Amino acid sequence: MTDDQTVHRPEPALRPVLTLFLSLLLAGGLGLMIGGVVPVPSFRLPSWPEHHWGDDSFVGFDPTGGEWLDRSVPTRVDVDAVDIHAPLTDLGMGYKGRFEVPPLSQPHLAGWYEGAASPGEFGPTVLFGHVDSDWSGPAVFFPLRDLEKGDEIEAAREDGIVVTYEVTGSESYPKDKLPYEEIFGIERKPGLRLITCGGRFDRKIGDYTENLVVFATYTGHRGATAEDEDRPLHGRKHFLRN
Amino acid sequence: MFKAVKQFAVALTLGAGLVLASAQPAGAAVTVTMTPSTATSGSTVTVLAASCSQSATAIVQNTGTNVSMQTNNSQAQGTFVVPADWKVGTYTVAVKCGDQTANATLTVTDGSGAQTGSGSMASTGPSKGVASAIAMTGAAVVAVAVIGLWLLKRRGKVSA
């Protein structure tokens, strides 16, 4: 090797280092290219909600053991913390065994699933509501994502009783892997689940990939007061303002 | 007249009391609860019968499914798994406890989630523009790396 050579060459000792660096750069670049094109699936740690029990012992889960209410159709749900004041419609089974949901043209309307308990009755009460609609943008259950542990939920019934609940947690599940026992199973106290859509919107199938489930547990009930009766209800116009 | 009505009412009350007392020493009617009360194929369903201290059987009507239940602390309990060949819809589950029968309803769904949105507010990860910008950056990095490696290899040969 002579000094008159004009080509600048890396030191032989440096070459493996440079090679390694450039190889890493190559791999990183390829990663960026793939990552930019392929959607990354959402990552979630497995979790066991607090009300899960390990074995199949239901001793103490007694529908006759508490001061639970008889069945009465719920008419509205209120969550002051996130400004939900929604009328309720009755929902049953929909097309081919799917859950019936309120019409998308009524984005202010949530629904009570008749296949489970009514508020205050032993067992879980399940309410469905849309997260968004083409008419409204955000719909009745859009604010569910902002609910926090300890927030109060109130469900008013046809018989004039208002049942109160406390949020215990929320979880988003892939739609084909809904945990039926967590949602439709019994607990020691009457429960409440508010369900809407979550996850990614899959444009190919025209549906969200996940359901967001808010879990709440019974804290008490009261006769509807004048204040309850006068509470505003967010009608269709409230959502069509956008 | 009034006395007669009163006597009749007393007789009725006594009669009802006797019927209740003879039917169930515990004095409470059997109550059937299912958990979960809505299920899909593959779900394990537990049938509970409260105020039942005798041997009990749960029958899922029109399916041929009979579940023998175990009794503990005047509560009978049994489980079954929803088979894949059950059609979606509602099923009546009857529990026979001694000479009493009580029902509850099980709903079987197709296992899909609730379609609670139209996608108008959907966030579908990085938008198309951002995603392609990331991909282009990646391509540029790859190009730089390939050129670098090629130069390294070529000049290495010259020196050898």
Domain ranges of chain B: 6-109, 128-160
State pLDDT tens for residues B76-111: 999 999 999 999 999 999 999 999 999 999 999 999
How confident is the model at residue A61, as a pLDDT?
A: 73
Of A18, A19, A207, the CB nearest to B115: A207
> Residue A158: what pLDDT?
97
Q: Which residues of B touch A124 (CB under 8 A)?
A: 37
pLDDT surpassing 70 at residue A10:
no
Confidence of residue B5 (pLDDT cuts 50, 70, 90): low
Strands (E) located in A96-157: 110-113, 124-129, 132-133, 137-138, 152-157
Domain B6-109 CATH (choose: 2.60.40.1930, 3.40.605.10, 3.90.1170.50, 3.90.1280.10): 2.60.40.1930
CB A45 within 8 A of CB B147: no
Quote ipTM for the complex.
0.75
Asked if A181's CB is within 8 angstroms of B44's CB, the reply is yes
A13: CB partners within 8 A, 6+ apart: none
Residue A53 pLDDT more than 60?
A: no
Residue bearing the bigger pLDDT, B97 or B7: B97
Which positions in chain A touch B137 (Cβ < 8 Å)? 32, 36
Q: Model confidence at A121, in pLDDT bands (50, 70, 90)? A: very high
- CB pairs A-B closer than 8 Å: 229
How far is Cα B113 from Cα A172, in angstroms, rounded to an integer? 11
Instruction: Write out the two tokens for B115.
Output: 């379609």
| Probe site for chain B from A37, A175, A184 (most B CB atoms < 10 A) | A184
In B, minimum Cα distance to A134 occurs at B120
Query: Residue range A130-143: average pLDDT?
Result: 94
Q: Cβ contacts (< 8 Å) between A116 and chain B: which residues?
A: 37-38
Amino acid found at B62 = N
Report whether the peptide linkage leading into residue B36 is cis, meaning its omega lies within 30 degrees of zero. Answer: yes
* Ordered structural domains, chain A, with CATH: 74-239 (2.40.260.10)
Do B75 and B107 touch, CB atoms closer than 8 A? no
Task: Determine the residue type at A136.
Answer: S
How far is the CA of A61 from the CAs of A161, A184, A220, B43, in angstroms? 24, 14, 18, 20
Question: What local confidence, expressed as pLDDT, does residue A159 receive?
Answer: 96
What sign for the dihedral angle of Cα B133, B139, B142, B148? negative
Q: What is the mean pLDDT of residues B132-139?
A: 80
Confidence (pLDDT) at A36: 67
**% pLDDT > 90, chain A:** 67
| Rounded distance between C-alpha atoms, residue B48 and residue B152, angstroms | 75
Which pLDDT score, from 0 to 100, does residue A12 have?
72
Residue A182's pLDDT band (cuts 50, 70, 90): very high
Q: Tell me, what's the pLDDT at B149?
A: 85
Question: Average pLDDT in the A168-180 region?
Answer: 95
Above pLDDT 70, what percent of chain A? 84
Q: How high is the mean pLDDT of chain B?
A: 81
Report pLDDT for B14.
47
The reply to whether B110 touches chain A by the CB within 8 Å rule is yes
- A96-105 burial by CB neighbour count: b if 16+ within 10 A, else e? ebbbbbbebe
Over 90: is that where the pLDDT of A32 sits?
A: no
Q: Is A232 left (phi over 0), alpha (psi -120 to 50) or beta?
A: beta
**What is the structure's pLDDT at A51?**
46
What is the nearest CA distance from B102 to chain A, expressed in angstroms?
A: 14
To the nearest 10°, report the CA torsion of A80, A81, A83, A88: -60
Residues A36, B132: C-beta atoms closer than 8 Å: yes
Residue A241 touches chain B, beta carbons under 8 Å: no
Contact B31 A184 (CB under 8 A): no
Q: Is residue A66 over pLDDT 70?
A: yes
The answer to whether the Cβ–Cβ distance between A59 and B72 falls below 8 Å is yes
Q: In which band, very low, low, confident or very high, does the pLDDT at A14 lie, cut at 50, 70 and 90? A: confident
Banded pLDDT at A200 (limits 50, 70, 90): very high
Whether B34 has a pLDDT exceeding 90, the answer reads yes
Measured between alpha carbons, how far is residue B152 from residues A4, A28, B87, B147 in Å? Answer: 20, 19, 67, 9
Residue B4 has pLDDT above 70, yes or no: no
Among A110-124, B21-35, B134-148, the minimum mean pLDDT is found in B21-35
Listed residue (A180, A148, A182, A179) closest to A166, CA to CA: A148
Distance CA A150, CA B9 (A): 51
Asked whether the predicted pLDDT for residue B24 surpasses 50, the reply is: no
Of B112 and A51, more confident? B112
Q: Which amino acid is at A202?
A: D
A101 and B134 within 8 Å at the Cβ level: the answer is no
Confidence of residue A92 (pLDDT cuts 50, 70, 90): very high
Name the nearest CA neighbour of B131 among A96, A84, A135, A35.
A35
Q: Which residues of A touch B76 (CB under 8 A)?
A: none
